Structure 1
């Protein structure tokens, strides 16, 4: 039985292009594996707190369990929950709307809780080693403009950053499905979403 972690982050709710496409992708994945379980984390509906002093005290400064305050215990427990969700997953689906050329702050906060030395990566004599391996990641992106090519490509701080964050913890098998130009009017949006849905169907067919 496979386990799918499904992370959404768009503040547009049901109108979100990235969420719609990612939902279709997850539906296709579960159709090919009816025994699969899906863990959903909606970062827009249930946003994570930004990491703060309590998190840093434990994750960075190493305050021992017996010396932690209740707030420090709670901050670290939340991070542990998020880490365990990722470690337990066989497949991870991330829906990411481009916000001001980058990630939604809610998704950035998820990564801030997740990228933790000793849990998802380690430091050694050879540098950094990702500890989260052997998983497939699908990233569904929605962008108002066209950033995969042309003059705006230099301003794409979404996909390169996502790939770097994922790769940093060992997640290198990453498939990106992008719907671009959704702000160029209803026809352009429909075409972009249809193309992304078709690609989602193709990649899940290959996975099967």
Structure 2
């Protein structure tokens, strides 16, 4: 089994999503011995913005091909996706622009778009300063609906979120939110076994 581990937070050791993705991957590897893990830190090694035309000799295009190969080869993709300004980080968006490619991960047909990257499991570790799953700020969540729609468009139907919300609402609230998120990881991994 191949697992692709993506981190996209700019906060380094202070990142909640990095801690969550590390816990998810560790639990997954423990539960599925022999799992081959590929790691990509989108903040430490950001991808250049997508541009045209592409060329086989361009280093950015060679890297883009490698990113696509990593995604297509993965059975499981674990993504650390902190909410930045109600959506995803620009580094994660640059990665998405490399994997959402017509003819590779989706195609258009007379019946409409068809995802070509199905059969994967995507687990997204999400962190948010406020609470966006319910209440007055729920309408400002452009992160989770976007990621669900995007991966669904690519043909991925097994999408799950590990969420830590309200992280900016005080130390006690943050500690509780992170503990609850970590506590849910084992059940999430067991569910897949």
Q: Distance in 1 between matches of 2:188 and 2:166?
A: 22
Uncovered stretches (5+) of structure 2, i.e. residues with no partner: none
SS in 2 for 1:151: coil
SS in 2 for 1:57: coil
1:16 maps to 15
CA-atom RMSD in angstroms? 1.2
1:110 and 2:106 aligned: no
Q: Distance in 2 between matches of 1:44 and 1:170?
A: 27
TM-score (norm 1): 0.89
Kept in 1, the 8 Å contact 2:48–2:60? The answer is: no
More helix, by proportion: 1
2:42 maps to 43
- Residue by residue over 1:168-203, the C-alpha shift from the partner in whole angstroms, topping out at 9 and shown as x without a partner, is 111121011110000111111100000000111111
State the number of aligned residues.
193
1:146 and 2:128 aligned: no
Q: Distance in 2 between matches of 1:171 and 1:44?
A: 25
Listed as ranges, the matches of 1:176-195 within 5 Å are 176-195=161-180
SS in 2 for 1:70: coil
Task: Return the offset for 1:207.
Answer: 1.7
- Residue by residue over 1:119-166, the C-alpha shift from the partner in whole angstroms, topping out at 9 and shown as x without a partner, is 111111111111101111101100000000000000001000111111
Q: Tell me which structure has the larger Cα radius of gyration.
A: 1
Kept in 1, the 8 Å contact 2:56–2:62? The answer is: no
Between 90-99 and 197-206, report the one with greater CA deviation. 197-206
Query: Alignment partner for residue 127 of structure 1, among 112, 131, 148?
Result: 112
SS in 1 for 2:37: strand
Task: Return the offset for 1:101.
Answer: 0.7
Query: Alignment partner for residue 170 of structure 1, among 155, 158, 163?
Result: 155
Uncovered stretches (5+) of structure 1, i.e. residues with no partner: 59-67
2:66 maps to 81
